[in-house]
Amino acid sequence: MSPEESRAVALEAARALLIEAGPQSVTLKAVASRIGRTHANLLHHFGSASGLQKELARHLAQTVCDSIGDAVRATRAGIGSPREVVDLTFDAFGQEGGGALASWMLASGNEDALNPIIETIHTLVDDLNPEEVAHDSQRSMHETTFSLVLLALGDALLGEQLAESLAVERTTARDRAESMMIAAFEKNGIEV
């Protein structure tokens, strides 16, 4: 395998470990074992466990943001829906493990590993809202994205337990996020 293919296989294995067993399971040794490589081989590609986790965050962010970008463009073209954007975002932090990975990185003092996630989200928002778009529209998109990501992250970390405790529907945060997205699209002249 080429170095790029080897890294890609390792990142997919790390992603699978994240989803199956949580962020603490994403170690060089576990990933190496899963793909039939040595610890030293992965050390060569990523430099450290922290490097692997940072690259995993970058990989997850890019993969998810590509899907979300496609969903936003489809919604703007009238063939998608704001709910698809919301569901992709919530699923990225929930069932895809992004929320657990982010909280684990923060708890372990590896905050800079979140930079790829933040940068990828910022790039997506700017790509979807080019500079020639009115400042108010850009501001609205930034605020909506900020709220959507925080809702999705919070839902991934506490949503199930909090919904049960407060006796609210489990989809409440997604429903609110969808309403927020619809209002933001309408405010910016996008029919949904």
Q: What pLDDT tens digit does each residue of the chain (192 aa) get?
A: 788 888 999 999 999 998 888 888 888 999 999 999 988 889 988 998 888 888 888 888 888 888 888 888 888 888 888 899 899 899 988 988 888 888 888 887 877 777 878 888 888 888 877 665 566 777 888 898 899 999 999 999 999 999 999 999 999 999 999 999 888 888 877 666
Domain contains 140? yes
Residue 51 to residue 88: CA distance in whole angstroms? 26
Residue 32 covered by a domain: no
Q: Is 191 left (phi over 0), alpha (psi -120 to 50) or beta?
A: beta
- With respect to residue 9, please indicate whether it lies within any of the assigned structural domains: no
Q: Please check whether residue 8 lies inside any domain of the structure.
A: no
* In contact, 191 and 173? CB cutoff 8 Å: no
Residue 12 in any domain: the answer is no
| Confidence at residue 130, expressed as pLDDT on a 0 to 100 scale | 61
- Quick check: 178 and 86 in contact, CB under 8 A? yes
* Boundaries of domain holding 172: 50-187
User: Is residue 63 a part of any domain in this protein?
Assistant: yes
Question: Number of structural domains, the chain?
Answer: 1
Q: What is the model's pTM?
A: 0.80
Give the span between the Cα atoms of 98 and 90, in whole angstroms: 9
Distance CA(65)–CA(125), nearest Å, equals 9
Distance in angstroms (rounded) separating the CA atoms of residues 44 and 31: 13
Structure tokens of 14?
């790390």
- Establish if 25 belongs to a structural domain: no
- State the pLDDT at residue 177: 95
Please report whether residue 34 resides in a domain.
Answer: no
